[in-house]
Amino acid sequence: MQKKSYLCGKIYQMTEEEIQNRQNLARELFHQGFNCSQSVFVACADLFGITDRDMALRLSASFGGGIGRMRLTCGAACGMFLLEGLRSGSSTEGDHEGKKRNYAQVQALAEQFRKENGALACAELSGLTNNGPAPEARTEAYYHKRPCADIIASAVGIFLRHQQI
């Protein structure tokens, strides 16, 4: 089954295999040491013409660890919301209807994220608390104790399968 997606603002049909490939790319990025938000955002940013990987990584860098490692909104969800801004965000001054549409999309994505993952907050998903700004070393134990790779893949799938309301 094909899902509608966007390539530089144009709708095209994305196959389930293409969605899975992007989910796998997001997992790979996480295992390379990028945070949850970066992994989700970079796996899909090219759909909106963002092909500068360094820029995409920098744009999404601050949202890892539940926004700056404060364990607030999950970084994978934040990456998904950044992508939604590219898909449905308004850039027109005074566009209240555009804001309303974008916020409705973000809320629908958040609800699906909660449904699939059980929560929206990093602390609830990971069982971790705000433990300072220093990220932990990425070891096998780090990856073993965190559900992040699966949550990242879930966020990519939710975003790519989501239909405009």
Per-residue pLDDT in tens (0 to 9) along the chain, 165 residues: 455 555 655 556 789 999 999 999 999 999 999 999 999 999 999 999 999 999 999 999 999 999 999 999 999 999 999 999 999 999 999 999 999 999 999 999 999 999 999 999 999 999 888 777 777 777 787 777 789 999 999 999 999 999 754
Domain positions in the chain are 2-161
pLDDT at 108: 97
All residues at 6 or more sequence positions from 102 whose CB lies less than 8 Å from its CB, including other chains: 84, 85, 88, 89, 90
pLDDT at 12: 64
| Sign of the alpha-carbon torsion through 79, 71, 104, 16 | positive
Q: What is the DSSP string of 34-59?
A: --HHHHHHHHHGGGGT---HHHHHHH
Residues in the chain: 165
Instruction: Provide the whole-model pTM.
Output: 0.90
